[in-house]
Structure 1
């Protein structure tokens, strides 16, 4: 049975292999309001990498990686880091894959966010008095994976080949019908 044939969208595949989650699911996992998520998407802090909003009523679709970054942002905000400094940190993390993100510990003194890739770098920051708190992104990845495994994910809808309904009046006028056949004249 594939990931999308189970009842109510439930899946048994790891969340990192599902294509995306709607904004409401991302909000539940991250612990933010839809208003925050919308603001962050509109201002470019974290835009959904699967499917952006295309107008009123359209649903954004967030990837597993997007939701990890959203959770990291939420933790930094909770620790008192300004949104301006978080934007700088997110820009540095933007090109990273999930595996790369999982190897990072983010440290902050409440103002600056430091990226550490080893225990030695964390210790050096603490000795220098720069790190007050840290976020082990690997722990965040594990937490997000567990939370998403209980929520329905979905694949992006392929773009339709025909964007508008056929113009039947034009077909009658020209004698053409879909498929290139001509009606009797």
Structure 2
């Protein structure tokens, strides 16, 4: 079994990613990251995902997986984007959702998308893949599942919010599953073949 550190302190993300990766983890054990959080000062999701993966790999000496993700609204010029987790200044999901809804106000163009950049670092090798999940921002939160902006995000082609999806439904189509779905074959090839 090859140990890989998952560079996040977000328990929701650890649970979700473990479910998403499922069989792709065969032969790989995900280990929680206990180290310091690096300063995420990149200007893209890809840059911030790599910052986290590099820091976890350096701190633990193990191969590291990380992601950076967020929501972007067309009417806000792509904001909150890489600032999604701290959009309201509190790192509290409900505050971030409230600020997004306040910023959008009565805006008619509610189109938005989630982006996830998934990064892997082992030694001096680095890999990054990006997944995008298009949809719209609802006028108010709906549903009790998920986390983050899920209650106000209606995925394209669906009639419910991401927070109304069962975890397995969300994990099959989300930005995170798209990014890691592209990355994991490369990770497995590097570590196991």
- Fold agreement, TM-score > 0.5: no
Q: Which has the higher contact order (CA 8 A, sep 6+)?
A: 1
Using the size of structure 2 for normalisation, the TM-score is: 0.29
Using the size of structure 1 for normalisation, the TM-score is: 0.30
Q: Which has the larger radius of gyration?
A: 1
The structure richer in strand per residue is: 2
